[in-house]
Structure 1
Amino acid sequence: MTTETPDLSNRVALVTGASRGIGYQIAKHMAAAGAHVIAVARTVGGLEDLDDEIKAAGGQATLVPLDLTDMDGIDRLGGAINDRWGKLDILVANAGVLGVISPIGHVEAKVFDKVMAVNVTGTWRLIRSVDPLLRKSDAGRAIVLSSGAAHSARAFWGPYAASKAAVETLVRSWSDETRNMPLRVNNVDPGATRTAMRAQAVPGENPDTLPTPAEVARKILPLASPALRETGMLFQVRQDRFVSYRDPK
């Protein structure tokens, strides 16, 4: 996989979970590459910090404070993008919640429901909202963040692992539906990264042993390139490679 920064001039990119961590850095890097970034997150302060950084570097952003459990809000977002730009070139579905690290039988129903609402239903609703806009692009690109937990199914990670496995399957179906179109759709496993979510999940871990969100974002950025050919794949950031679901190695 090339590490060259793609030229995203005159392209419109939607990034969820953009107020911190990997989403923040992807949004910043895409703006630096020339894209107009629609930055979505619940935390207004984090979005404003991102906007300041993007503008200071000469880029452009539109801030959208939105909770991905607000399904009507997600629908309105697609309509607003259509009214202003008439298309969407890049989707980065990054937002997600961990829930709790706990035995399955000890997980509260409200916690399980929130993980599924944000990670699965919110992602599906987002895809549903912007799929027509991505099809209008000459080189639509969808990048959906997953996790190695979807495959390892480790003890105590049940709700989060199940949510990411569901998202991967959803995205694989979407990629198959659009395989003969210019739209390229891929899942991404960022690997363990120095984020607040990782610290919540593994509190005893030394964060200095993990790559930073900026390092991870730089490796994900080429998946937004109009020159990208791969679709329906899983990109593993730590291994810097695409893995085929049809012929896993």
Structure 2
Amino acid sequence: MSGRLTDRVAVVTGASRGIGYEFSRVLASEGAHVIAVARTVGGLEELDDAIKAEGGSTTLVPLDLLDSAGIDRLGAAIFERWGKLDVMVANAGLLGVLSPIGHIDPKLFEKTMATNVTSVWRLIRSLDPLLRRSDAGRAILMSSGAAHSAKAYWGLYAATKAAVEALGKSWANETQKLPLRVNSVNPGATATKMRAEAMPGEDPETLPTPREVAEAMLPLALPGLTETGGLFDVREGRFLQVSMPA
């Protein structure tokens, strides 16, 4: 471990697989204690084994992010144990369905919005006070190129990610004078289960791995970061936009 996040506490949602799993390992390898949140207990246990084998530490939180009261309890538990939070990674999300907008099932629309947008707001509501207590709080919100391309049949997923970016920009503008830095990330096409659902004929060997994407995202969690309100594009390795002071 290089220790750039030693003694820091990080929350990662959707930590049982894909980018969330690998980013949890990267954060732990830098010395962070990772609070890993996901619905899948087996995946969390595998993550715990992997991080411990690499000399890191975790706290596992089996939690469905549709459980808003559970998110509130998470914030309270972190406050009681650590008194602050240094890194928040809102990674969990659903693809929903690729469909003409008028054909989307209302229940699926509401579930996807609740998972991808409402749960992020609940996380912000619960964890913002803890991030403000850090000397270098870092919030990372997972977005997608779909938020900007809004291709045909991608309307549901695109809308959720556009909403997340808007929340992030507003939050960043509200906290610009604080040490807290808030940014969104476009990971680009990545060899994940969600990508396979969206593009079943695509060869995953042609795509970056979740580990490669996670390593590229690491600077967004480090204390030396200065940018806020930005959209970091992993493929380009740079911020495409950054908020300016109001």
The 5-angstrom pairing of residues 229-240 of structure 1 reads: 229-240=226-237
Map of 2:165 onto structure 1: 168
Contact 1:92 1:143 in 2 (8 A): yes
Contact 1:190 1:216 in 2 (8 A): yes
Contact 1:26 1:218 in 2 (8 A): yes
Q: Decide which of 120, 132, 135 is 1:123's aligned counterpart.
A: 120
Question: How much is the aligned-residue C-alpha RMSD, in angstroms?
Answer: 1.1
Map of 2:92 onto structure 1: 95
Query: Which SS does the other structure have where 2:202 is aligned?
Result: coil
Query: What's the TM-score once normalised by structure 2's chain length?
Result: 0.97
Q: Which runs of 5+ in 1 are unaligned?
A: none
1:222 is displaced (CA, Å) by 1.1
Query: What's the TM-score once normalised by structure 1's chain length?
Result: 0.96
Q: Distance in 1 between matches of 2:113 and 2:243?
A: 26
Map of 1:155 onto structure 2: 152
Q: Decide which of 182, 190, 193 is 2:190's aligned counterpart.
A: 193
1:245 is displaced (CA, Å) by 5.2
Q: Distance in 2 between matches of 1:6 and 1:184?
A: 20
Q: Which amino acid aligns with 1:232?
A: G
Map of 2:16 onto structure 1: 19
Query: Which SS does the other structure have where 2:75 is aligned?
Result: helix
Q: 1:245 to 1:229 in 2, by over 3 A?
A: closer
Map of 2:46 onto structure 1: 49
Q: Which amino acid aligns with 1:241?
A: R
Q: Which runs of 5+ in 2 are unaligned?
A: none
Q: Distance in 2 between matches of 1:89 and 1:151?
A: 29
1:246 is displaced (CA, Å) by 5.6
Map of 2:215 onto structure 1: 218
Contact 2:228 2:243 in 1 (8 A): no
Question: Whose RCO is larger (CA < 8 A, sep 6+)?
Answer: 1
1:73 is displaced (CA, Å) by 0.3
Query: Which SS does the other structure have where 1:186 is aligned?
Result: strand
Contact 1:16 1:40 in 2 (8 A): yes
Q: Which amino acid aligns with 2:15?
A: A
Q: Distance in 1 between matches of 2:54 and 2:201?
A: 36
Q: Distance in 1 between matches of 2:44 and 2:23?
A: 13
Map of 1:59 onto structure 2: 56
1:105 is displaced (CA, Å) by 1.4
Contact 1:6 1:222 in 2 (8 A): no
Q: Distance in 2 between matches of 1:233 and 1:90?
A: 16
Map of 2:140 onto structure 1: 143
Contact 1:146 1:189 in 2 (8 A): yes
What do the CA deviations read for 1:22-54 (whole angstroms, capped 9, x no partner)? Answer: 000000110011000000000000000000000
Map of 2:181 onto structure 1: 184
Q: Which amino acid aligns with 1:121?
A: T
- Number of residues paired by the alignment? 243
Q: Distance in 2 between matches of 1:103 and 1:45?
A: 35
Identity of aligned residues (%): 68
Map of 2:68 onto structure 1: 71
